[in-house]
């Protein structure tokens, strides 16, 4: 696709975007009502709407969760993260959003039907792609797909992820995303918020009525670019955006951090759909 076509698509999409009048109150922490996700086989059929996120399903042992829902590491915040964020995405944009995510292994050729891939906990989950999986992911991203990696912390987990990602792109560096990158301005301007932590619920404690966040390091926004400067893979390092979505209706989770996680998530989706 040439640059004129890309910009035409982007302009068409942006013209369709309408921010609801209650954005401020929503982002200030108004709880999103929960609904029961329709039970279905997450591996069946083509994408159900204009946007449907595919979670990367990978081999792992153990898992974690909250509210009595324990999932394998690749699905640790499912289903509440999707349920909350997808509702917010519908309210903040005119993007037609599927009710649920799909769960696909990278060896599955159907990943090419889903341009937006979401991976969680590659460190704790000890993600180790096979040659086939690495090749499929590389092809997916070079064709125009987008990978978002979330919820991994500390240098030990970074080393696990970096080793795995080198199998996908041995010749492409992982770099810090700069403040002027279109990702940070495509819908919301969030470059000034990059120092704000987005913690997991496990990282938040209260002292004297004030939230205290203890992370394993400062938030780092990193990525891999293609030859044309398009961000193909983005990494939320020392960031737990999925947990922030999951706990959007939890009064014990700090509202400003949920608001940032929503804005960041919307930017990721709009960027992936327009680049």
H helix runs in the chain, sequence order:
3-16, 23-27, 80-92, 131-142, 154-168, 241-246, 255-274
> Does some domain include residue 33?
no
Radius of gyration of the chain (CA): 18
| Of 126-130, 165-169, 248-252, minimum mean pLDDT range | 248-252
Confidence tier at 21 by pLDDT (50, 70, 90): very low
The contacts of residue 211 (CB under 8 Å, 6+ apart) are 204, 205, 254
Query: What is the reported pLDDT for 11?
Result: 42
- The gap from C-alpha 23 to its chain's centroid, in whole angstroms, comes to 20
Query: What is the reported pLDDT for 252?
Result: 85
- Residue-range definition of the domain harbouring residue 185: 3-19+52-274
Distance CA 165, CA 163 (A): 6
Q: Which of 88, 110, 86, 113 is nearest to 98 (CA)?
A: 86
In this predicted model, what pLDDT tens digit does every residue of 30-86 receive, in sequence order? Answer: 332 333 333 455 567 889 999 999 999 999 999 998 888 889 999 999 999 999 999
In this predicted model, what pLDDT tens digit does every residue of 226-242 receive, in sequence order? Answer: 999 999 999 999 999 99
Q: Does position 24 have pLDDT exceeding 60, yes or no?
A: no
> Does some domain include residue 36?
no
For residue 103, report the phi and psi dihedrals to the nearest 5 degrees.
Answer: -125, 105
> Does some domain include residue 97?
yes
In this predicted model, what pLDDT tens digit does every residue of 251-275 receive, in sequence order? Answer: 888 888 899 999 999 999 999 999 9
Confidence tier at 19 by pLDDT (50, 70, 90): very low
Q: Give how many domains the chain has, as a whole number.
A: 1
Which residue is listed with tokens 């180790």?
A: 128
Distance CA 244, CA 274 (A): 25
Query: What is the reported pLDDT for 138?
Result: 98
Query: What is the reported pLDDT for 37?
Result: 35
Q: Does position 116 have pLDDT exceeding 70, yes or no?
A: yes
> Does some domain include residue 43?
no
Query: Is the separation of the CB atoms in 97 and 51 below 8 Å?
Result: yes
Query: What is the reported pLDDT for 238?
Result: 94
Q: Does position 216 have pLDDT exceeding 70, yes or no?
A: yes
Distance CA 53, CA 69 (A): 21
In this predicted model, what pLDDT tens digit does every residue of 121-151 receive, in sequence order? Answer: 999 999 999 999 999 999 999 999 999 999 9
For residue 197, the domain's CATH number is 3.40.50.12140
pLDDT, greater one: 16 or 146: 146
In this predicted model, what pLDDT tens digit does every residue of 180-213 receive, in sequence order? Answer: 999 999 999 998 888 888 888 777 777 777 777 7
Query: What is the reported pLDDT for 69?
Result: 84
> Does some domain include residue 104?
yes
> Does some domain include residue 140?
yes
Query: What is the reported pLDDT for 213?
Result: 76
Query: What is the reported pLDDT for 166?
Result: 98
> Does some domain include residue 141?
yes
Q: Does position 23 have pLDDT exceeding 50, yes or no?
A: no
Confidence tier at 101 by pLDDT (50, 70, 90): very high
């Amino acid at each position: 696709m040439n640059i004129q076509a890309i910009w035409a698509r982007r302009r068409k999409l942006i013209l369709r975007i309408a921010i609801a009048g209650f954005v401020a109150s929503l982002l200030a922490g108004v709880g999103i009502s929960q609904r029961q996700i329709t039970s279905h086989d997450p591996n069946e059929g083509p994408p159900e709407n204009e946007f449907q996120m595919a979670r990367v399903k990978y081999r792992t042992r153990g898992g974690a969760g909250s509210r009595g829902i324990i999932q394998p590491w690749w699905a640790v915040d499912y289903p509440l993260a999707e349920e909350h964020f997808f509702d917010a995405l519908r309210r903040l944009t005119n993007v037609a959003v599927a009710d649920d995510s799909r769960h696909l292994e990278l060896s599955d050729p159907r990943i090419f039907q889903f341009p937006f891939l979401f991976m969680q906990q590659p460190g704790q989950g000890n993600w180790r792609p096979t040659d086939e999986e690495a090749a499929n992911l590389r092809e997916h991203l070079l064709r125009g797909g987008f990978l978002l990696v979330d919820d991994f912390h500390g240098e030990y987990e970074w080393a696990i992820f970096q080793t795995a990602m080198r199998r996908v792109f041995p010749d492409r560096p992982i770099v810090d995303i700069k403040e002027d990158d279109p990702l940070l301005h495509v819908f919301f301007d969030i470059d000034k918020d990059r120092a704000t932590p987005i913690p997991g619920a496990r990282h938040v404690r209260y002292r004297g009525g004030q939230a205290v966040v203890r992370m394993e390091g400062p938030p780092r926004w990193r990525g891999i670019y293609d030859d044309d400067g398009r961000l193909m893979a983005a990494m939320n390092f020392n960031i737990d955006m999925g947990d922030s979505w999951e706990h959007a209706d939890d009064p014990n989770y700090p509202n400003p951090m949920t608001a940032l996680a929503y804005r960041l998530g919307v930017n990721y989706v709009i960027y992936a759909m327009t680049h």
